[in-house]
Amino acid sequence: MSPQIIGDHVRLRELVPSLLSVSAQVGFSADGLVVYLDAMDYSNCTNIRDDFKFPAFFWREGYSLNGVPSSLLPLMRANAAIIWLSKSLLESTMARVIWVYAHEFRHFMQWRGAVSLMPLQNFLRERHAVEGFSGIGTQLEKPDELDSELFAKRVVNAVIGEEAFAQYLGECRSDPKGDVYFRRFSELETLLPNHVKV
For Zn ion, the closer CB: 12 or 140: 140
For Zn ion, the closer CB: 54 or 133: 54
Least CB distance from residue 196 to Zn ion, whole Å?
18
For Zn ion, the closer CB: 23 or 148: 148
CB of 82 closer than 8 Å to CB of 75: yes
Binding mask 98-137 for Zn ion (x = CB under 5 A): ----------------------------------------
CB of 110 closer than 8 Å to CB of 147: yes
Least CB distance from residue 149 to Zn ion, whole Å?
8
User: β-strand 81-85 against 56-60: which pairing, if any?
Assistant: antiparallel
DSSP state string for 123-165: HHHHHHHHHT--S---GGGSHHHHHHHHHHHHHHHHHH-HHHH
Stretch of 2-10, 87-95, 142-150, 173-181 contacting Zn ion, by CB under 5 A? 142-150
Total site size for Zn ion, rule CB under 5 A: 2
DSSP state string for 38-57: -----TT-TTS-GGGGSSEE
Distances (CA, A) of 85 to 90, 118, 192: 7, 28, 30
Binding mask 143-162 for Zn ion (x = CB under 5 A): --x--x--------------
Residues of this chain that bind Zn ion (CB under 5 A):
145, 148
